[in-house]
Amino acid sequence: MVTYGLIGLCCAVFLLSPVSGFDRAYGKGEALLSAQSAYLRHWGIVPDQLVAGAPHALITPLTALFVHGNWLHLLGNMLFLHVFGAMVEERMGRVHFAAFYLVLGALAMSAYAVANANSDETLVGASGAISGVLGAFLFLFPKARVTSLFPFLFFLPLRFPAWIVLLFWFALQYLAQQQAGGGGAGPEVAYLAHLVGFTGGFLYAGLRYWRAGRVRTPAVATEGERQP
């Protein structure tokens, strides 16, 4: 319920925002662009403001998790949350998963802001929190099979163990972050937030569940196989 609730909330926030373009009250043309920019800066993280401790900015590591910059940004994040979130939620429990998602997402976004303390570019999106979910999934369900599409394999739907898919994803994020430089910001992508979220999620799941002896790998088909 938490996973689908988060997806529904992110979609509702996007549809009601000026970024979706559905609400004509925001105008069009230059007026719409101005409204979109003001909206993103108000609810998103602006690193130099957050690091400086501006009162309004202190809540943005949480609000930014529910704001997305365009349709592709929203749909990509929600797809990953749909595929990997439900199983992690089931293992953790609803309240635990909700707290995990929000806290780790805020920490990942804040880490990016600290690393880019002089930047005035806005950061929005749920990818830091969702990266944490991916990291937890890797530890909890490494052998669950997921269906993936790879462009260099002509987009053929192929099934792989989760550990292969997720480590491949992590390696791509790391390489992109190295190319982007120390701040971890590529073209419109905060790779550092992805890396911090993923690593944090994996380590948290390891410390929480390995010690408790509660890690098990499902032997039957799981929701992790449903990725189109």
- Which of residues 210 and 85 earns the better pLDDT score? 85
Mean pLDDT calculated for residue range 80-87: 94
Quote the pLDDT of residue 183.
60
Which conformational region is residue 53 in: left (phi greater than 0), alpha (psi within -120 to 50 degrees), or beta?
A: left
Distances (CA, A) of 147 to 4, 86, 213: 20, 16, 28
pLDDT value at 119 more than 80: yes
DSSP bridge pairs for 148: 158
Structure tokens at 114: 């600290």
What's the angle, vertex CA 61, arms to CA 193 and CA 53, rounded to 5?
110
The CA distance from 225 to 76, in Å, is 17
pLDDT at 227: 38
Which amino acid is present at 135? G
* Average pLDDT score over residue span 139-163: 72
Q: Is 182 exposed, middle or buried (0-12, 13-18, 19+ CB in 10 A)?
A: exposed
Q: How confident is the model at residue 219 (pLDDT cuts 50, 70, 90)?
A: very low
CATH of domain 2-225: 1.20.1540.10
Predicted pLDDT at 228: 35
More confident residue, 33 or 9: 9
Q: How far is 71 from 69, CA to CA, in rounded Å?
A: 7
> What is this structure's pTM?
0.84
State the pLDDT at residue 8: 97
Residue keyed to tokens 């998602």 = 101
Distance CA 60, CA 43 (A): 6
- The mean pLDDT of 43-51, rounded to a whole number, is 95
**Could you tell me which residues come within 8 angstroms of residue 123 by beta carbon, excluding any fewer than 6 positions away?**
44, 45, 46, 47, 64, 109, 112, 113, 190, 193
What's the pLDDT score for residue 221? Answer: 40
Render pLDDT for 187-203 as a digit per residue (tens, 0 to 9): 568 889 999 999 999 99
Q: Give mean pLDDT, residues 145-150.
A: 71
Whether residue 63 is predicted with pLDDT greater than 90 in this model: the reply is: yes
Extended strands (E) in the chain: 145-149, 157-161, 185-186, 189-190
Would you say residue 146 has pLDDT above 90? no
Decide if pLDDT at 113 tops 50: yes
pLDDT for the residue 186: 52
Quick one: pLDDT band at residue 42, thresholds 50, 70, 90? very high
Tokens in use for 143? 């052998």
| Residue bearing the bigger pLDDT, 148 or 12 | 12
Which of the four pLDDT bands, split at 50, 70 and 90, describes residue 70?
Answer: very high
